[in-house]
Structure 1
Amino acid sequence: MAATTGSIGVGWKFTNNIVQLNGSALARPETRTYTDPINGSTGTEQVLERNQFWEVVQRGGNRYMVMRSTDNNGNAIRPSDALNHVFNSRDSYLFDCATPMTLINLKATLDTVGADAFNRNTQGKLTVASWYDPFDNSNFDGGYISRVRTANAGEIVVNGHANLAGETARFDTNQGDRLVVGNTYYFDKPGDNSSAVQGWNAVYLGQATDGSHRFWSASIGEVSVSFRADGSWVPTGGTYGSYYLGAAIANPNLPRLQTWG
């Protein structure tokens, strides 16, 4: 995870549309049926955007980026090639701040197990949108093993702004929270649970020699964060001074990685 994030720099530009193919909107959306890769149910979707590897579809109120099975010439597409295109042609894609966490996990898996094993396990199922994961029954963990604690309203105050009920609890080492390289974390903005800047997901890259902590987030890239000395896990200032490190921790699903390998 750390090696993958370190190799791509800033990442992708942000969009409120969750997933978006830059400049690839269809003149007229196409309606078709689809089969859910997990439970086999069928439904109707609209194809909104398309490039040589991916389509953006609307299924009810949800928007997904789905790998195409064949290209415009009828040639089969390999999942490894589709995923690598997302990383090698980053200007062609826009995402929210959660989808890149899923993509980073998939790319780290590809780089670990190799193309043959990755393609064998993902063929026909490579679909991304925020934390959606089509490879297990939870549907919404991005391929991680996650744990989240939430707080009651008003428990956390940053710069005069109190958290709302259901926002993440504060990161707390007394509750077993740890900063582990390669894990994904969440910086929460108290009092905001609806705007585009309500929080940011980040991969932890380790502690710097000056004591600050290095994180990576899409559309931001690598940043160094120093926390207040009061144990509040609030950054000392700058862009992230209105946030606190939340008790939402996701570590890569190593048992699945072993199975895929």
Structure 2
Amino acid sequence: MIIIRFPDAAGKQKLQNLSGKQREIYDHLDQSLTLFEYDSTFQLLFEISLREQIIEAALKLKEASVAFTSFKYSKFNPIYWTKGPRGYLLNPNVRPSDAIADIFENGEEYGFECSTAMVIIFYKAVLESIRITDFNYLFRGLLVWNWNYDPDLAIITLEGSEFIPGDVVYFMNPDFELPIWRGENAVVLGKGLYYGHGIGIGTADEMIEALNTLRKKGSTTSAYMLKQHSRLNFKYLSQFSGR
């Protein structure tokens, strides 16, 4: 359910004209049992747009030829990043916007696992949604690996199984054979589909089926989706919108 404290006529007209993926996202928000409150129509429109950008970034990463691998065998373009004990640190005098964009433009220079992929997808979506000067100011000194992220990315993880397109969910694989397959983080694409780096695009059942092929030999414990989801703090980020 959506509540807008101070709606405006122009914003209302924009909401009425939504189509495609943005209309799908709006309908999910509006039909949700969760209450989504906004100070203005602009905040709602920003969230809808940023959620669409998250989905677009997920699809772009899928096509970017990035390898799926553990930290031991990982790689990032050394022009922009330096490997340290906790992840990949942005090189001095490198703009965060250039470094994030390079992952999608030169994917063959990169290799990482699924949680890192989710954070990178979030960064890319935010890059496309806020002023580039603010992006470079907020995210200077980036450290990327696993769920390491800058506080200004403002990721929120909540319990519940009511997901909105643009959320990130987790498929748990309790009897994994290799640690890298202990589970799969995935972007909710909408229409029952998910994207996880390492598995690709599929339904929830297909994600679970893929993980079940990666269990210990003889295991009968199925993978399953956790009842939780991660999303950005859209209201906080909306103040940096350049639109």
Question: What is the TM-score when the length of structure 1 is the normalising length?
Answer: 0.61
> Any idea what SS the aligned residue of 2:179 has?
coil
Structure 2 residue ranges without an equivalent (≥5): 1-53, 213-221
Where does 1:222-261 land on structure 2 (aligned, <5 Å)? 222-226=201-205, 235=208, 238-241=209-212, 242-261=222-241
In the TM superposition, residue 19 of structure 1 has moved relative to its aligned partner by 7.8
Q: CA RMSD in A?
A: 2.5
The one-letter amino acid paired with 1:106 is: Y
Taking a change above 3 Å as real, the CA distance of residues 114 and 247 of structure 1, as seen in their structure-2 partners, is same
CA distance in 2, matches of 1:226, 1:220: 12
Q: Which residue of 2 aligns with 1:99?
A: 116
Q: Which residue of 2 aligns with 1:195?
A: 179
The one-letter amino acid paired with 2:167 is: N
> Any idea what SS the aligned residue of 2:99 has?
helix
In the TM superposition, residue 117 of structure 1 has moved relative to its aligned partner by 2.0
1:144 aligns with 2:162: no
Identity among equivalent positions (%) equals 24
CA distance in 2, matches of 1:90, 1:145: 27
> Any idea what SS the aligned residue of 1:256 has?
helix
In the TM superposition, residue 221 of structure 1 has moved relative to its aligned partner by 2.6
1:17 aligns with 2:71: yes
In the TM superposition, residue 258 of structure 1 has moved relative to its aligned partner by 1.9
> Any idea what SS the aligned residue of 2:180 has?
coil
More helix as a share of residues: 2
C-alpha distance after superposition, 1:109-155 (max 9, x if no partner): 000013222112212x211110012326xxxxx7411025xxxxxxx
Q: Which residue of 2 aligns with 1:89?
A: 106
The one-letter amino acid paired with 1:53 is: Y
The one-letter amino acid paired with 2:155 is: Y
In the TM superposition, residue 255 of structure 1 has moved relative to its aligned partner by 2.8
> Any idea what SS the aligned residue of 2:190 has?
strand
> Any idea what SS the aligned residue of 2:71 has?
coil
Question: What is the TM-score when the length of structure 2 is the normalising length?
Answer: 0.65
Where does 1:1-261 land on structure 2 (aligned, <5 Å)? 1-11=54-64, 12-17=66-71, 20-21=74-75, 51-58=78-85, 63-70=86-93, 77-123=94-140, 125-135=141-151, 143-148=154-159, 176-192=160-176, 195-207=179-191, 213-226=192-205, 235=208, 238-241=209-212, 242-261=222-241
> Any idea what SS the aligned residue of 2:70 has?
coil
CA distance in 2, matches of 1:19, 1:240: 21
CA distance in 2, matches of 1:180, 1:243: 22
The one-letter amino acid paired with 2:144 is: V
CA distance in 2, matches of 1:194, 1:255: 38
CA distance in 2, matches of 1:78, 1:9: 24
For these two proteins, the number of residue pairs brought into alignment is 178
Structure 1 residue ranges without an equivalent (≥5): 23-49, 71-76, 137-141, 149-175, 208-212, 228-233
Determine if contact 1:55/1:66 at 8 Å carries over to the other structure: yes
The one-letter amino acid paired with 1:66 is: L
In the TM superposition, residue 194 of structure 1 has moved relative to its aligned partner by 7.1
Determine if contact 2:60/2:104 at 8 Å carries over to the other structure: no
> Any idea what SS the aligned residue of 2:74 has?
strand
Determine if contact 1:18/1:130 at 8 Å carries over to the other structure: no
> Any idea what SS the aligned residue of 1:65 has?
strand
